[in-house]
Amino acid sequence: MTASTGPIEPAELLARIPDFEQALAFYHRHLAPDTAIDLSVAENVLVYEDSMQKMVFDHTALLPETYIHYMSAYGNPRLREEVAALLTKAFDAPVAAGDVFGTGGVGSALECLAFALQEPPKPGETGPPPLEEGDAVLLPAPYWQGFNWSFEQRPKLKCVPVRLPTEGPERFLLTLEAIKEEFFKYHRLFGEFPRLLVLTNPHNPLGVNYGKELLEEIYAWVIDETDMHIISDEIYCHSQVDGARVPFTGALALSAYERAPERIHVVWGFAKDFGLSGFRTGFVVSKYGPVQRAMLGTTGIEEKKHSMSWFTPVDSLKHYVLGAILETTVNGAGSELYTDYAMRRYRELLTASFERVRDRLVARGIEFVQTEGDNPAQFFWLDLTDYLGKRPPEGAYTVEPLPLAHAADADPDELWLFDYLRTRAEVTLLPGETMHCPAPGFFRLCFTAYQPEVVCEAIDRVAEALEELVVLG
């Protein structure tokens, strides 16, 4: 006999979501829609609202029969070819369709890699020894908190932050020295070297592109001096404003990739640049034998294994809708692929939004971490450290916290500020602690989550709320 269950209580579900950003997305979408401007979640409405609905979906039939059937979990040949062609342009380096493997989101693509790198190379294949459970993964911090789920929860690797400086002339700058320092420190402490380096380029939450010279330096050291693999998460690769001081360089365009393609793996997906976060579609790009076998499946008698994508597929509905996006042409008779149009237009929209929001932040005196001319991807990394510990003059403002999972060592003043802005200004920002920021007081603002006028209104409200805060005597 089964116990009868009552109706689903959304508030209980919220309390059970361990990912802070996903919990906020759930809260704002299902529990308290329209109560705040939610700039905490990395989403992008710009492309959809500008062109995707009218140029693609308005012309797409409901559902042809082909798409009710089973399809290749890692993407059928056509989809893989179309994505390879798209990425060849974005990475400015050739991407072979046979090296592209679809999954149910980049979070899943990362998890697939974490499992696949634990498989040994075959005799005759070059490659370092396979990773093992408990091996360390270096991640420059702050970093997207989802890496913890992808690498730790099931593959059982261990995320180790490379803590970037939060003050001084090198504030939040990545250097090879910082990576080396953590690499050797980890060895001193645990007697083993880390086995994987993960770079997010452009970065989340800092937005910046890593320069080619820096990347060549880091990759050369990793390849020549260590046993580490590198995963380059390039999910924001099209999120580029005009005239960025440091242009985007993909891992596949580096000379290191020519020398050691078996050590370098890239992920990308439709969630950010195309704004299709709910579609959960990501891709692994890798030439490495163990990764390719894990993604395709293996038929050998001793090691029959199903494709990792079978557990996290690009299903037929995704094939259908993404196929429509990838195959639509615009501007007359087959003259331009919609994806080329959309990404060109996205750059214009992103640049305009970025400039408008940046100017408003400056006008309202809200500080953010950015060197003039740096790429933002979809974010401003706000520096609200000046407000830590301040309170409204009456000191009486009580903040109703949400039932969200915080790290045990979360800074109480940062959390108070998060709740204060969420309730007083009705604007939700992502606290830096969620992203393993080494110091409290930094918040991520995603400026593509709404049209720029709404983001500017949110900034005005945040500024007013911050202006009320004083040091209590």
Ligand X SMILES: Cc1ncc(COP(=O)(O)O)c(C=O)c1O
User: Is residue 377 helix, strand or coil?
Assistant: coil
By CB under 6 A, what part of segment 106-125 binds ligand X?
A: 106-107
Cα 168 to Cα 163, 305, 369: the distances in Å are 14, 51, 12
How far is the CA of 45 from the CAs of 11, 300, 347, 351, 375, in angstroms?
27, 46, 13, 14, 19
CB of 22 to ligand X, least distance (A): 9
Peptide bond into 169 cis (omega under 30): no
Q: Counting contacts by CB under 6 A, is residue 202 touching ligand X?
A: no
Residues 129-148 that bind ligand X (CB under 6 A): 144, 146
CA-based Rg of the chain, rounded to a whole angstrom? 23
Torsions phi, psi for 134 (to 5 deg): 90, -10
In whole angstroms, the minimum distance from the beta carbon of 446 to ligand X comes to 9
299-338 mask for ligand X (x: CB under 6 A)? ----------------------------------------
Where would I find the beta strands (DSSP E) of 56-204? 100-103, 136-141, 158-163, 196-200
What's the min distance (Å) between Cβ of 85 and ligand X? 20
* Residue with Cβ nearer ligand X (106 or 260): 106
Q: Which is nearer to ligand X, 127 or 146 (CB)?
A: 146
Task: Candidates 51, 88, 175, 277: give the one binding ligand X (CB under 6 A).
Answer: 277
Give least dist CB 55 to ligand X, A.
23
For the record, the structure tokens of 390 come out as 């301040």
Distance CA 83, CA 85 (A): 5
Is residue 432 part of the contact set for ligand X (CB under 6 A)?
no
Tell me if 105 contacts ligand X by CB under 6 A: yes
Tell me which residue has its CB nearest to ligand X.
105
In eight-state DSSP terms, residue 41 is S
The token pair that represents 101 in the structure block: 């493997």
Determine the angle formed by the axes of helices 338-363 and 316-327, rounding to 10 degrees. 90
At its nearest, how many Å lie between ligand X and the CB of residue 146? 5
Of the ranges 102-110, 187-195, 213-221, 390-398, which one interacts with ligand X (CB under 6 A)?
102-110
> Which pair of tokens denotes residue 12?
């209980």
Among 140, 282, 441, 452, binds ligand X (CB under 6 A): 282
SS3 of 287, please?
A: coil
Report the first-to-last Cα separation within the chain, whole angstroms. Answer: 63
Instruction: Work out which of 82, 119, 135, 233 binds ligand X, going by CB under 6 A.
Output: 233
Residues that bind ligand X (CB under 6 A): 42, 105-107, 144, 146, 200, 204, 233, 235, 269, 271, 277, 280, 282
